[in-house]
């Protein structure tokens, strides 16, 4: 009999409980900082299991703690509450277009299942420390104008939910964190990731002059034309992006005009600048802002609002190995694939900048993430198996007086040992400025630098030395 049998059998007992939760959350998708129904549902389930829930008060999300009563490390098991907008999906909310087309619903079910099993298993004296369950909002970097309003109203300080939770102190007592994300592969059960790109989020507003498009277009300045020039100018930079920096830039127009017979006065865009390191993100962002400024100089103007999106994510190598060992014992060898570096971004990267974190991928989904064919097709692979793996990993970490947890902490080298240093760094990213300045003599100046990072980005044209291994 496996040393994990006691825990895996309990997961099986909660199978219907978890399937019911997955179905409810799929039917009730909500986007970031609006996940009130999802949060309330999970709060009720945690309360039923006997947990005291600590709500995030004025935003969705909560924490709950399983305490062994013995001194030791604290391991966080996380789940993301938010969905996406994909109105073409046949099961999207007909009013909001929202749907769980990225699989976050399985994360919260894995978190819920882990919480259920730990309560049911009870205290047999073998574990130490605490398990903190963290239901976090707003991982997806969307709906930026709504989040900007929340910031202006003082409701939140940061666009991304984990960063907001870090700021509010919900991770202050946590030593390491685990979350499992959904993916699809017909042959394997799990995929291990080395890390993700980081990103800056950008809201861009082009300002022109309205006029009648048929009768007097010569009196207008077309903000849409300026914006399309900006898109083309940024696209012309792509050959300057080095492959190993994994740079990504992908704008969308969220407002392109009001009527076909009116010259568009206001055009709005949302986008991200992604890369593997913060320095490369900043360098690329200067290039992008310069291109946006130059495109507006045809007569329009452009305002950018840059905010910290995510720092690059680096997995704890030791915890990754431990997770793979658990999977091999539970399900046999050959069930894990290794994915290397991924060009997605997530606020899990910000958490990994101050503590050891892993985010393995579990299979069981079908279709394309964020696509109209995405669904959770195999609940066993997507929820039941990863719940067993997470429970057993946590047991390993907190057994033997937390020996393996302390090894994970000792081995991991975070970017910041104090979260105040982390916040000081990302706060320098935030900027809102008009990029085209008209001088008294009629000339213009393109002002595209963030003065907080000027020293880091002023030499971006220099080609760095590359050493081939």
pLDDT tens by residue, 227-260: 999 999 999 999 999 999 999 999 999 999 988 9
Give the pLDDT of residue 464: 34
CA-only gyration radius of the chain, Å: 24
Residue-range definition of the domain harbouring residue 243 = 199-309+429-457
365 shares a domain with 338:
yes
300 shares a domain with 434:
yes
**To the nearest 10°, the Cα dihedral for 152, 154, 155, 158?**
70
Produce one character per residue of 353-374: b if its CB has 16 or more CB atoms within 10 Å, e if not: bbbbbbbbbbbbbeeebeeeeb
Give the pLDDT of residue 453: 75
Give the pLDDT of residue 455: 46
210 shares a domain with 152:
no
Helices and strands, counts by H and E, the chain = 15, 22
Give the pLDDT of residue 235: 94
The per-residue DSSP string of 363-413 comes to --EES-TTSTT-EE--HIIIIIHHHHHHHHHHHHHHBGGGHHHHHHHHH--
Looking up tokens 């010259």 gives 263
**Domain CATH for 390:** 3.40.630.10
181 shares a domain with 96:
yes
Give the pLDDT of residue 418: 92
466 within domain boundaries: no
Give the pLDDT of residue 116: 97
250 shares a domain with 319:
no
144 within domain boundaries: yes
- CB proximity list for 235: less than 8 A, separation 6 or greater: none
DSSP tag of 2: -
Give the pLDDT of residue 456: 44
217 shares a domain with 138:
no
342 within domain boundaries: yes
339 within domain boundaries: yes
416 shares a domain with 333:
yes
CA distance 255 to 224: 9
354 within domain boundaries: yes
448 within domain boundaries: yes
99 shares a domain with 141:
yes
467 within domain boundaries: no
18 shares a domain with 98:
yes
Residue 288 CB coordination number (10 Å): 24
77 shares a domain with 31:
yes
**Domain CATH for 292:** 3.30.70.360
**pLDDT tens per residue across span 357-386:** 999 998 888 887 777 888 888 999 999 999
Contacts 24+ apart (CB under 8 A), 403-409: 404/322, 405/72, 405/73, 405/75, 405/129, 405/175, 405/176, 406/73, 407/318, 408/176, 408/316, 408/318, 408/319, 408/322, 408/356, 409/73, 409/175, 409/176, 409/356
172 shares a domain with 77:
yes
319 shares a domain with 302:
no
469 within domain boundaries: no
Give pTM, 2 decimals.
Answer: 0.86
pLDDT < 70 positions in the chain: 1, 454-469
Give the pLDDT of residue 352: 94
CA distance 31 to 143: 8
* Counted domains in the chain: 2
């Amino acid at each position: 009999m496996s040393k994990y049998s006691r825990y895996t059998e309990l997961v099986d007992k909660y199978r219907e409980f978890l399937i019911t939760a997955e179905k409810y959350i799929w039917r009730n998708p909500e986007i970031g900082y609006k996940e009130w129904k999802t949060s309330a549902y999970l709060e009720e389930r945690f309360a039923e299991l006997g947990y005291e829930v600590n709500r995030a008060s004025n935003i969705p999300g909560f924490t709950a703690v399983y305490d062994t009563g013995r001194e030791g490390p604290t391991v966080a098991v996380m789940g993301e509450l938010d969905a996406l907008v994909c109105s073409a999906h046949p099961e999207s909310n007909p009013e909001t277009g929202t749907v769980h087309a990225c699989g976050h619903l399985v994360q919260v079910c894995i978190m819920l299942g882990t919480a259920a099993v730990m309560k049911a298993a009870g205290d047999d004296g073998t574990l130490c420390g605490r398990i903190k369950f963290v239901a976090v909002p707003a991982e997806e970097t969307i709906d930026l104008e709504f989040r900007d309003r929340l910031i202006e109203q003082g409701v939140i300080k940061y666009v991304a939910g984990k960063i907001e939770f870090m700021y509010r102190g919900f991770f202050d007592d946590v030593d390491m964190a685990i979350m499992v994300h959904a993916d699809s592969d017909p042959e394997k059960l799990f995929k291990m990731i080395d890390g993700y790109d980081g990103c800056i989020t950008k809201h861009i507003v082009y300002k022109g002059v309205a006029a009648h498009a048929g009768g007097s277009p010569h009196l207008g300045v077309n903000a849409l034309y300026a914006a399309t020039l900006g898109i083309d100018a940024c696209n012309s930079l792509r050959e300057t992006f080095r492959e190993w920096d994994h740079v990504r830039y992908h704008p969308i127009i969220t407002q392109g005009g009001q009527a076909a017979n009116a010259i568009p006065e206001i055009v709005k865009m949302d986008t991200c600048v992604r890369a593997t390191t913060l320095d490369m993100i900043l360098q690329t962002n200067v290039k992008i802002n310069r291109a946006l400024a130059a495109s507006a100089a045809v007569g329009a103007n452009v305002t950018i609002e840059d905010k910290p999106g995510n720092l690059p994510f680096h997995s704890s190598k030791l915890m990754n190995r431990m997770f793979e060992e658990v999977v091999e014992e539970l399900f046999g060898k050959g069930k894990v694939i290794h994915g290397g570096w991924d060009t997605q971004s997530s606020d899990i990267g910000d958490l990994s900048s101050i503590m050891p974190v892993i985010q393995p991928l579990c299979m069981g989904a079908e279709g394309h993430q964020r696509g109209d064919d995405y669904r959770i097709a195999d609940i066993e692979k997507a929820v039941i198996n990863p719940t067993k793996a997470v429970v057993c990993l946590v047991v390993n970490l907190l057994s033997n007086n937390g020996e393996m947890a302390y090894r994970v902490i000792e081995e991991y080298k975070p970017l910041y040992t104090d979260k105040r240093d982390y916040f000081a760094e990302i706060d320098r990213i935030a900027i809102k400025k008009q990029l085209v300045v008209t001088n008294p003599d009629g000339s213009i100046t393109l002002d595209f630098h963030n003065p907080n990072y000027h020293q880091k980005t002023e030499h971006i044209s220099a080609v760095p030395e590359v050493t081939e291994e």
